[in-house]
Structure 1
């Protein structure tokens, strides 16, 4: 199941935190994690969160705990809210790399809004604005100044990403999806020049943020830095727009959300706010949305395959064929055949 051994992690965390109360610890799987496994650690000293890779065979360069630790520690003194990390291990404790971070109090919004939270349209707009503003803040961080020089190669980022996820698709696909193959072809055929250089989260969306419990317009922590690197910031905003469902639209099974409820702004509203806040040119943002759809389709297939192989601590996600088709259609709509995307 991949659950951490309390007799191992407890003493290690007690030593790292300087608090023997952590020795008596229990670990409970947190539902919702679709890639790395996330556990809540509970002890007389309080609660924390442990992250580790899934069990089973892993795709190359996936589930890199060290990268998650490095980027969060680097961002700690910046305006970007991240959780404090008292313990990181390269495999000696559990046999796989893992780390423990503080449990940040607040709301993580998945497929429902808590009773009494963000009932007003103004609060729902505030959530969207805080999400966009935090992303723009991330993209203004001087990565060299915070010690992330060499964290990734900036030039040719999106071209490498398209090639990487095409390779991942070839590795994880277990049945033909011609529309996804066509989407990959269109993405390769008209790669835009880099839209900038920044710290890129790689999976930025509402359920990867902790909102303040009483102020919906405040992000208290950004989570899940597994895909972070130095690259094109437009990839992040493109992904956020893809994850943002509007009224009348449904969410794929692996993308929980509430943005299709009344009162939440549209994708166009988010894009405009980000452009104003960041100063970046979003004239080719449709390409980045299409790439986000392709990438998440590949991730979805990989998660479903790992779950079927029993590598997701018992979590099951059912047949994802319809979701793959929906994401392929979303991407193809944004980069029609022969399109030059405004060139």
Structure 2
């Protein structure tokens, strides 16, 4: 296995892919890990004339409900002919014996994943505002797609979605705690106490396709400043689409927390819209009021904190690839504190 592609045996991959799409690979393969991902491993593979993107789960500790390659592949394949831009999918392998884990293959889309305020600042305020605005517009388009109309009617179970989210992320935390987390336990308790009333008050009109990790660096933006592809669909499902919007706002608010820069600080760029502007643009695109977002924001802070804890857990095990993981754990406590503030006092 090449040092440039840890977790991807290029010879084994070629044998498998030649069976799926005979004759497509013409020359000797080489590859590299694409920088940026702190969860699944993403590789760019080429034979010198054509390129492919390969995605597989991380090395080492993997939560049972996370890193679902089949889910990513299914979501992007279903959305291919909609207004939501996604990469073309080529093949999916559910057999872990080929590479040591399930994986899939898709096209390489030319575009930039903006991860920092510095990148956006170089574009200027007007272009930054335009890019961020289109990010929200694309999210609204996703949430208006009829799941049944694209073959995703059975992609998730909308009934009880929020309750399951609260329970699942609590379980994820228990599976990857690196120390006692009493404030996180308290936030989870409050979410658990409040979720039933939130779901009871919902008429089901917010049900749709949820990306699950929507933010600017999970979009590939072209040189024309338009979104060319939405990627990283491992958490996609059917449920309350406001969870996507809340998580986007939480990612943006990282820039004002001590965890700034650990995941993204794009909202610090001149011209980047405020959270209130994002909410207003999304509401206008959907033509409806969002209502109280407090619960959804509390859940989003909890979810992101748990994701960081899982990455920190893998770092301590020596199972991460890349740099910067030694600082990822510092984001946990600020996120939990912000989640408690967003949720407010017990009813």
The reply to whether TM is greater than 0.5 is yes
SS at match of 1:198: strand
8 A Cα contact 1:10 1:24, kept in partner: no
Q: Please, which of 196, 215, 219 is the counterpart of residue 209 of structure 1?
A: 219
8 A Cα contact 1:104 1:220, kept in partner: yes
8 A Cα contact 1:253 1:323, kept in partner: no
8 A Cα contact 2:255 2:265, kept in partner: no
CA RMSD of aligned residues (A): 2.1
8 A Cα contact 1:72 1:82, kept in partner: yes
**What is the 5 A alignment of 1:209-248?**
209-213=219-223, 215-216=224-225, 218-245=226-253
Deviations 1:210-245 (A, max 9, x none): 0112x22x1110010000000100000010111113
Question: Given the superposition, is the C-alpha separation of residues 116 and 153 from structure 1 closer, same or farther in structure 2, using an over 3 Å criterion?
Answer: closer
8 A Cα contact 1:13 1:23, kept in partner: no
8 A Cα contact 1:6 1:24, kept in partner: no
Once residues 248 and 97 of structure 1 are traced to their aligned partners in structure 2, the CA distance between those partners, rounded to angstroms, is 37
Structure 2 unaligned regions, length at least 5:
none
Once residues 121 and 132 of structure 2 are traced to their aligned partners in structure 1, the CA distance between those partners, rounded to angstroms, is 18
Q: CA deviation at 1:260?
A: 1.2
More helix by share: 2
SS at match of 2:209: strand
Deviations 1:43-85 (A, max 9, x none): 2222221100112232112111111100100000100000011
Once residues 318 and 24 of structure 1 are traced to their aligned partners in structure 2, the CA distance between those partners, rounded to angstroms, is 36
Q: Which moved more, 1:39-48 or 1:128-137?
A: 39-48
8 A Cα contact 2:57 2:103, kept in partner: yes
Indicate the residue corresponding to 2:208 in structure 1.
198
Question: Given the superposition, is the C-alpha separation of residues 94 and 22 from structure 1 closer, same or farther in structure 2, using an over 3 Å criterion?
Answer: farther
Question: Given the superposition, is the C-alpha separation of residues 247 and 185 from structure 1 closer, same or farther in structure 2, using an over 3 Å criterion?
Answer: closer
1:111 maps to 2:116: yes
1:148 maps to 2:156: no
Aligned residues: 336
**What is the 5 A alignment of 1:316-335?**
317-335=325-343
8 A Cα contact 1:11 1:20, kept in partner: no
8 A Cα contact 1:162 1:188, kept in partner: yes
TM-score normalised by structure 2 residue count: 0.90
Q: Which moved more, 1:282-291 or 1:158-167?
A: 282-291
Once residues 17 and 112 of structure 1 are traced to their aligned partners in structure 2, the CA distance between those partners, rounded to angstroms, is 40
Question: Given the superposition, is the C-alpha separation of residues 321 and 53 from structure 1 closer, same or farther in structure 2, using an over 3 Å criterion?
Answer: closer
Question: Given the superposition, is the C-alpha separation of residues 23 and 97 from structure 1 closer, same or farther in structure 2, using an over 3 Å criterion?
Answer: farther
Once residues 71 and 30 of structure 1 are traced to their aligned partners in structure 2, the CA distance between those partners, rounded to angstroms, is 22
Indicate the residue corresponding to 2:300 in structure 1.
292
